[in-house]
Every structure is written in C-alpha cells, then in structure tokens.
Amino acid sequence: MTPLRRTTRETDVEIGLNPGGTGARIDTTIPFLDHMLNTLARYSGLDLSITARGDLPHHLIEDVAITLGMFLAAAAPATAARYGERTIPMDDALVQCVIDLGGRPYYRGPLPSTLYDHWMRSFSDNAKATIHLRVIRGADRHHVVEAAFKALGLALRDALRETGAVFSTKGTAVIDAGDA
C-alpha cells in the first residue's frame, strides 16, 4: 500500500507499511507515543512505518491518530472479518476493546488520559471504525493506556483477518460521486 502523508502548518505525518515483515519503525519525537504505536503495531501484526514531527504534543498525537486512521480505512480489505474483541490484563489494569471496521465511526471510552482518549476518538473517526474501550479496572494510567493499545492491536488483528467474503448483509458499499 502506498504511504499516506498528512501535512498541516502544525504537523507533518507519514505512515506506511515496512516491506517484507521487517517490524515497525516509529519516530514521532514523543517517547510514550512511540511506545504506544510500537505496541499497537506489534499486537495488530502491522509492520508500520510512522514518522511525525509537530509543534505541540497535542497536535502531533492527534494528527498521528488522524493519519493512522485514514491509512487503516484505506488499507482494510472489503473481505476483512470486520469485528474484533480482546480483553487485556496489564498488572493492575484490565481493559476491553471491541471494534467494528464497518465504516461507521463511533468511539466510547474514556481512558484516564485526555490526550490518549482523544487519540482513540480521532483514530476511530478517521478509520471509520466503531471502537468501544472499557476500563474494567486499573489505577496506574500508564498501565491502563498501554493495555488499551494492546487490546486495540489484538482486536484489529482479528478484524483485519481476511475471510474471503464481505461481512455485511448490505454487501460492498459503492459510492459514486458522479460529476459533483
């Protein structure tokens, strides 16, 4: 798949896949975001290549989520399993993620970090995915957020699995803009 680049006055983000299963390469200048994106790539089975630069952490975190969501929406095959669900324990944290890649964006959280809760919402909106995150328990914010990214990654692995059939009673949606 062709890399996707999103550039604004505030950020410059490029996302693609590394060829040949070489693992993820993530560089956003924000160590915790890099850690979460490496975790997501590892658990989803996607060898992501992400480079991002920006003026403020909030702008960069949001724009990486937007771009990754757009990339995933374009990359997901029409014959993907579409649904995924995983619950992940991490020390004191227990987090469940349920996802539907059916083209209808909706996010329900929250996470105990406004930046990463916003990341999930921005990702969901741009991936055109329904994502429900349920923090069942957890006191350590780092553990809760990391468990959420692990759960999202494994749920994405399930949802992106090729099935050979369109998982919808509507079939494949075709949109024709005509001469608009």
Residue-level pLDDT at 38 = 98
The CA-based dihedral angle spanning residues 48, 69, 37, 95, taken in that order and rounded to the nearest 10 degrees: -130
List CB contacts of 39: < 8 A, sequence separation 6 or more: 146, 149, 150, 153
Q: What total number of domains does the chain contain?
A: 1
| 179 assigned to some structural domain | no
Per-residue tokens: 125? 């909106």
Task: Note the pLDDT tens digit of each residue in 17-72.
Answer: 987 778 899 999 999 999 999 999 999 999 999 999 999 999 999 999 999 999 99
Return the pLDDT at 18: 87
* 53 in any annotated domain: yes
pTM (2 decimals)? Answer: 0.91
pLDDT at residue 169 tops 90: no
The residue length of the chain stands at: 180
Query: For residue 1, what pLDDT is reported?
Result: 76
Domain of 133, CATH number, reads: 3.30.230.40
Closest CA to 14 of 45, 48, 57: 48
Question: 174 pLDDT exceeds 60?
Answer: no
Residue 129 is part of which domain span?
A: 4-160
52 within some domain? yes
Instruction: Read off the tokens for 64.
Output: 């990486």
Position 169 in a domain: no
